[in-house]
Structure 1
Amino acid sequence: MIYLDYAATTPMSDAALQTFLHASKQYFGNEQSLHDIGSNASVLLNVCRQTLANLFGGKEQGVYFTSGGSEANYLALHSLIIAHQHKGKHIITTPIEHASIRNYFHELTKKGFTVTYVPVDKHGIVLIQELQKAIRPDTILASIQHGNSEIGTIQDIRAIGHLLREHDILFHTDCVQTFGKIPIHVQDMCIDSLSISAHKLYGPKGVGACYINPRVRWQPIFTGTSHEGGFRPGTVNVPGIAAFLTAAQDVIEAQTKETTRLYTLRDFFLQGLTNITHPIHIEGHPSASLPHIAAARIQGIEGQYTMLACNRHGIAISVGSACQIGKQEPSKTLLAVGRTAEEAKQYIRFSFGKHTTKEELKTTLHILQTMIDEYKGVVSQ
């Protein structure tokens, strides 16, 4: 099968798998235990913490390992907001954030918080002037994603971070889709908090990380928690974290070369879509876009139909964030960039990875043309 859903998840790399097996056998101890076996696991965990911090210009004291990106988003935001709510109860975000953030902020409104959704343009870019206007004296935090998982648009995080820093507003950014794909430096970008996930970069599922600037105060959600400095309860998954770091180091080392390769594949594929004899609309920003995501709408054909047809032909694609599949709702990102509900339901996403080849994309383009011709034939009967 041709797999074009890398933005949803990636297969574990051989190196990450070997690290997981080795760490599971040699570093199986609870890193909180005081005996040597526990101490060995603790040493490995601290090495992973320092290594990860170095990959995005942070400090090891600010790295907290989690079960994934969604939990990292929730724990970071909640820990920061409850620690700073005495300053105000106004939050800024966008309508195109990941469901984990959007749902959490919805819950906050039930507790007396006010959330302002800064609009985006037709390509999904946050309007800086609108962000500026949204800032209030009681604004304590803004959460704006680095790269959108549905249309691939990249935000100017550095400009956003510096603006928020000038107003003493905490800045959290969801970097799940960008870490390992494009450079991230928390100090240069004025990022106070970020979230990342292992399974988006050939690491294991169930592992992620949150970074909070050690200079920023946060409050534990669960009192009495000893793991991860009180940030998260539960025995730490040291083997999974070690595998995560193996995968992360590998993708960062290959980032420049692989990003160039993916952009070349993406350009080839998007050009191929425009050559199909049926109106296809490309979504996302024409230049500020992630290298591994190609989003489109096939006019008059629902994305769900296209996805199922591709699956029948041995091609795996997506119709949106895997966290929202099955909710029978049009993409909130597509609605936010000005598409109608009907147009939003036509959305499909192709996402590429290190195993994607040009030949696979040629086959996919051929299948799409065949599928469209078959659909037209059925509809015209």
Structure 2
Amino acid sequence: MIYLDHAATTPMSQNAVETFVKASTEFFANTNSLHEQGEKSKLLLNQCRKEIANLFHADSQEIFFTSGGSESNLRVLESLYLGNKYRGNHVITTTMEHPSVHSFFHKLENNGVNVTYVGVNNDGQVRLNELEEAIRPDTILASIQHVNSEIGTIQPMQEIGSLLKKHDVIFHSDCVQSFGKIPINVVEFQLDALSISSHKIYGPKGVGAVFLSKNVKWKPADLLTTHESGFRQGTLNTPGIAAFTTAALDMEKEQKANLEYMRELRQLLLEQLSPISHLIKVEGDIENQLPHIIGMGIHGLEGQYMLLTLDRHGICISTGSACQSEKLEPSIAMKALHRTSQEAKRFFRISMGIHNTREDILETATRIVNCVYEKEGKVIGE
């Protein structure tokens, strides 16, 4: 099996598995319990909080653990909105965001809040002039993702942060796809909040975190909440958080090497697809793109057909965000890029991981080229 759907989820690393097992047996007590075992678990939790905070230059008291990226997005956005809605009735996001972010803003619209969905250019980057024009005196909050999960576009975070700070607009970013893969600095980006997830970086599912600046106002989304300083209800998943932290530290240690390796694999794939390059449209700008993610379409073939064809050969890819796949809706990115209905149907995504090999990429490229050549009765690499 060749797994090329890492933007959807990743396998747990051996280090993360071992940490999870150890924490499950030795640090199982509730971190809010007052006995010695509870205090032991709390010490581990606080160490994890500090380690995660250090990875993007935050303070440990600014980290709140959650059940994953989607909950992180929904909960932090609601907490920020509730804490600042007295300042105005206008918020901003983009047309390229994750479904969880769009879900929150649609909810606000239904409650009478004015929402502006800023567009993107042909490569998926936010138009800074359009963003600035969208800001109003009553704008209180903006949520703009760091890296797009479908085409890998990286947003100009420092420029966006500087612009929003100038207008005193709270800046949240969905960093689920970027965390652990490229540097994040909340100070340089002038971020007030961000969301991250464990299972995108070889940690366990069901764990995530939020950075929420101590300098920004917020209110709990749920009443009578005591866990996580009032940010979230429920007993914390201490083993999962410990395994998440282990995975994050491992990714940080190997970040430069992993990034270079992903660039090499990406280049190899595109080189091997050169026989059909005239039929391929690779989305995004390679200069501002996470190399792990390759979103593309091939003229004459639907993305769903390519997915099923590769799956028959034991190769796993996707046709977009896993969070919208059950509804088989057109890719959010393709809609945001104003691609035609036919172009949207052609779209599929290859997302590579650190365990993929050159042989994986060579085999995948051969199967893709063969899929295209089948119409002409020509097969290669058999």
Same topology, TM > 0.5: yes
- State the superposition RMSD in angstroms: 1.2
Q: Which residue of 1 aligns with 2:48?
A: 48
- In 2, distance between residues paired with 1:319 and 1:54? 35
Distance change in 2, residues 1:277/1:72 (3 Å): closer
Q: Would you say the 8 A contact 2:125–2:155 is kept in 1?
A: yes
- Are 1:152 and 2:157 counterparts? no
Counterpart in the other structure of 1:255 = 255
C-alpha deviations, 1:51-93, integer Å up to 9, x for none? 1000000011110000000000001000000110011111111
Any conservation in 2 of the 1:161–1:190 contact (CA below 8 Å)?
A: yes
**Pair 1:375–1:32, CA change in 2 (3 A):** farther
- Give the 3-state SS of the residue equivalent to 1:65 in structure 2: strand
Q: Secondary structure at the match of 1:308?
A: helix
What do residues 7-27 of structure 1 show as CA deviations (whole Å, max 9, x unaligned)?
110000000000000000000
The SS at the match of 1:325 is helix
Tell me the residue number matched to 1:334.
334
How much has 1:222 moved relative to structure 2?
Answer: 1.2
Q: Distance in 1 between matches of 2:321 and 2:295?
A: 12
Following superposition of structure 1 onto structure 2, how do residues 31-180 of structure 1 map, counting pairs within 5 Å? 31-180=31-180
Which has the higher mean CA deviation after the structures are superposed, 274-283 or 90-99? 274-283
Report what 1:245 is aligned to.
245
Shift of 1:376: 5.3
1:377 CA displacement: 5.4
Shift of 1:272: 2.5
Contact 1:192 1:216 in 2 (8 A): yes
State the partner residue of 2:197.
197
Aligned-partner SS, 2:324: coil
Q: C-alpha displacement at 1:329, in angstroms?
A: 1.9
Q: Which residue of 2 aligns with 1:273?
A: 273
CA distance in structure 1 between the partners assigned to 2:245 and 2:15 by the alignment: 10
2:291 matched residue in structure 1: 291
Q: TM-score, normalised to structure 2's length?
A: 0.97
Q: So what's the TM-score if we normalise by structure 1?
A: 0.97
Report the alpha carbon displacement of residue 345 of structure 1 after superposing the two structures with TM.
Answer: 1.1
Partner of 1:14: 14
Give CA deviations for 1:292-333 in whole Å, capped at 9, x if unaligned.
101110112111111000000110001000000021321121
Number of aligned pairs?
378
For residues 225-275 of structure 1, the C-alpha deviation after alignment (integer angstroms, 9 at most, x for no partner) is 111111010100001000000000000000011101111111221232233
Distance 1:134 1:30, change over 3 A: same
Q: Give the partner amino acid of 2:210.
A: C
How far apart are the structure 2 equivalents of 1:255 and 1:31?
31
Hey, what does 2:232 align to over in structure 1? 232
Correspondence for 2:324: 324
What is the letter of the counterpart of residue 343 of structure 1?
E
In structure 1, give the amino acid aligned to 2:355: H
Letter in 2 for 1:111: N
Distance change >3 Å, CA 372–CA 220, structure 1 → 2: same
**Are the counterparts in 1 of residues 68 and 198 from structure 2 also a CA contact under 8 Å?**
yes
Deviation at 1:217, TM superposition (A): 1.1
CA contact (8 A) 2:292 2:351 kept: yes
- The residue identity in structure 2 corresponding to 1:71 is E
Judged with a 3 Å threshold, the aligned counterparts in structure 2 of structure 1 residues 112 and 40 are, in CA distance, closer, same or farther, namely same
* 1:251/1:88 CA distance change after superposition, 3 Å: same
- In structure 1, the residue matched to 2:26 is 26
Please, which runs of 5 or more residues in structure 2 have no aligned partner? none
C-alpha separation in 1, matches of 2:212 and 2:143? 13
Code of the aligned partner of 2:153: T
Amino acid at match of 1:293: I
Kindly indicate whether the alpha-carbon contact (under 8 Å) linking 2:272 and 2:366 is maintained by their aligned counterparts in 1: no
Q: Which runs of 4+ in 1 moved over 4 A?
A: 375-378
SS in 1 for 2:145: coil
Percent of pairs with identical residues? 51
Give the SS at the match of 1:350: strand
d(CA) in 2 for partners of 1:141 and 1:14? Answer: 40
Unpaired stretches in structure 1, ≥5 consecutive residues: none
Q: CA deviation at 1:375?
A: 4.5
CA contact (8 A) 1:2 1:314 kept: yes
- The Cα shift of 1:374 comes to 2.2
Secondary structure of 2:288's match? coil
Q: Residue type of the partner of 2:325?
A: I
Task: Please tell me the residue identity of whatever aligns with 1:177.
Answer: Q
Residues 105-131 of structure 1, C-alpha deviations (whole Å, 9 max, x = no match): 111101111110111011001010111
Paired AA for residue 137 in structure 1: P
